[in-house]
């Protein structure tokens, strides 16, 4: 079971004695997500089938609560599966659905506000020795009233290892080029690369890479209609040499984040 001193296991009761399961909300690489209701008080959390490592990562993130990370409420070890009970923040949408259905792409101001929260969350993960490894629009919830984010789905995550990784978990289009070229990557440079991809996708409305050749052969071009500060930061994060990319703290200190504060946005569905 691994490092179980981080975990709380409820083995004397069954999942069904605590919760009723509702409609299916989504599906990821490691399991499915359902709406659910806690019988005792009507709490509506997420229910997600997962693996023990994800439990450990979420427990680490919960030791001192991080508001921008989904909270683990409870988990169950069953003979053929693990069940995670996660908070279900409302009213929330994932950024991919929001971008696709409502806005197409985010303004630089809105992307700046969102990325500021994402980078700070990645720093909190780093402090706890965790790499999420799948930070993307689909795994970021946004509260439609407060515009505050929640990072979800640690199913591809791992503990940070000094000498990096020789296997890749996560979304292909966010994979750093050093993995294809050398078969190995390190946690923080890979995270920074993924944040560059995320920033690009937020503002441009599409991913910068679709194939391995695109990732390896990227010339770090940026459309001219974007501000110099934005292009500079994206290029820096997407530098082909891992040691030439910024640290997470350097991203926060970049001049792009020193620009004017973002305005609140009213998300209204586009007319068809």
- How does DSSP assign 141-186, residue by residue? EEETTT--EEE---TT-EE--TT-BSS--S-GGG--HHHHHHS-B-
Residue 200 counted as domain residue: yes
Q: Where residue 228 sits, what CATH number does that domain have?
A: 1.10.510.10
Residue 69 falls inside a structural domain? yes
State whether residue 46 is helix, strand or coil: strand
Binding site: which residues?
25-33, 87, 94
Q: What is the pLDDT along the chain (272 residues), one digit of tens a residue?
A: 334 333 344 444 566 666 677 776 666 555 566 666 666 666 555 544 434 799 999 999 988 889 999 999 988 888 888 888 999 888 999 999 999 877 788 989 999 999 999 999 999 999 999 999 999 999 999 999 999 999 999 999 999 999 999 999 999 999 999 999 999 999 999 999 999 999 999 999 999 999 999 999 865 555 546 778 999 999 999 999 999 999 999 999 999 998 755 444 454 444 44
Helix (H) or strand (E) holding 19: strand 19-27
Residue 271, in any domain of the structure: no
Together in a domain, 158 and 244 = yes
Q: Is 132 inside a domain boundary?
A: yes
Q: The domain spanning residue 26 has which CATH number?
A: 3.30.200.20
Do 148 and 195 fall within a single domain?
A: yes
In a domain, 51, yes or no: yes
For residue 67, the 8-state DSSP code is: T
Residue 161 sits in the same domain as residue 57: no
Helix axes 228-237, 187-204, angle to 10 degrees: 140
Q: Which residues are catalytic?
A: 134
| Residue 205 is assigned to a structural domain of this protein | yes
Q: How many CB atoms lie within 10 A of CB 270?
A: 8
What gap in Å lies between CA 177 and CA 157, rounded to an integer? 19
Count of Cβ atoms closer than 10 Å to residue 215 Cβ: 24
Q: Name the domain boundary from 62, 86, 110.
A: 86
Pull the structure tokens for residue 81: 């599966």
Please report the pLDDT score of residue 101 as a whole number: 79
Is residue 154 included in any domain, yes or no? yes
pLDDT at 11 (0 to 100): 41
Say whether both 75 and 21 belong to one domain. Answer: yes
Is residue 112 domain-shared with residue 70, that is, in the same domain? no
**Residue 248 contacts residue 192 (beta carbons within 8 Å):** yes
Spatial distance between the Cα atoms of 83 and 55, rounded to a whole number of angstroms: 10
CB 201 within 8 A of CB 96: no
d(CA 27, CA 263): 33
Same domain, 78 and 154: no
Domain endpoint, select from 86, 113, 135: 86
* Pairwise CA distance, residues 184 & 178, whole Å: 6
Contact 144, 150 (CB under 8 A): no
pLDDT of residue 220: 52
Here the tokens at position 179 are 């993995």
Tell me the residue ranges of DSSP E strands in 51-170. 72-78, 81-86, 92-94, 130-131, 140-143, 149-151, 158-159
Q: Decide if 272 is inside a domain.
A: no
Give a three-class secondary structure readout of 199-245. HHHHHHCCCCCCCHHHHHCCCCCCCCCCCHHHHHHHHHHCCCCHHHC
Q: Are residues 237 and 164 in the same domain?
A: yes
Number of domains present in the structure of the chain:
2
Do 122 and 210 lie in a common domain? yes
Kindly state whether residues 148 and 29 are assigned to the same domain.
no
29 and 105, same domain (yes or no): no
Containing structural domain, residue 239: 92-258
**Domain boundary residue, one of 86, 106, 140:** 86
| Residues annotated within a binding site for ATP | 25-33, 87, 94
Looking at the fold, whether 147 and 60 belong to one and the same domain comes out as no
Radius of gyration of the chain (CA): 19
154 and 200 together in one domain = yes
The token duo for 267 is 């998300």
């Amino acid at each position: 079971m691994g490092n179980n001193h981080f975990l709380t296991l409820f083995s004397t009761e069954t999942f069904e004695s605590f919760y009723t399961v509702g409609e299916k909300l989504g599906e990821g690489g490691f399991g499915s997500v359902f709406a659910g209701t806690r019988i005792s008080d009507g709490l509506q959390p997420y229910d997600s089938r997962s693996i023990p490592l994800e439990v450990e990562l979420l427990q680490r993130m919960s030791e001192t609560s991080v508001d921008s990370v989904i909270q683990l409420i409870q988990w169950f070890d069953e003979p053929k599966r693990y069940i995670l009970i996660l908070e279900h923040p409302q009213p929330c949408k994932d950024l991919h659905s929001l971008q696709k259905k409502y806005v197409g792409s985010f303004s630089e101001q809105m992307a700046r506000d969102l990325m500021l929260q994402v980078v700070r969350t990645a720093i909190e993960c780093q402090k706890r020795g965790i790499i999420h490894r799948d930070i993307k629009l689909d795994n970021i919830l946004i509260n439609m009233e407060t515009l505050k984010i929640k990072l979800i789905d640690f199913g591809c995550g791992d503990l940070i290892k000094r000498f990096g990784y020789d296997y890749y978990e996560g979304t292909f289009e966010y994979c750093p080029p050093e993995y294809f070229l050398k078969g190995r990557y390190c946690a923080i440079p890979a995270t920074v690369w993924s944040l560059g991809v995320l920033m690009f996708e937020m503002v441009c409305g599409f991913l910068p890479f679709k194939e391995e050749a695109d990732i390896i052969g990227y010339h770090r071009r940026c459309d001219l209609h974007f501000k110099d500060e934005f292009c500079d930061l994206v290029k820096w994060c997407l530098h082909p040499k891992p040691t030439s990319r910024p640290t997470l703290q350097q991203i926060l200190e970049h001049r792009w984040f020193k620009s004017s504060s973002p305005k609140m946005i009213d998300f209204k569905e586009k007319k068809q």
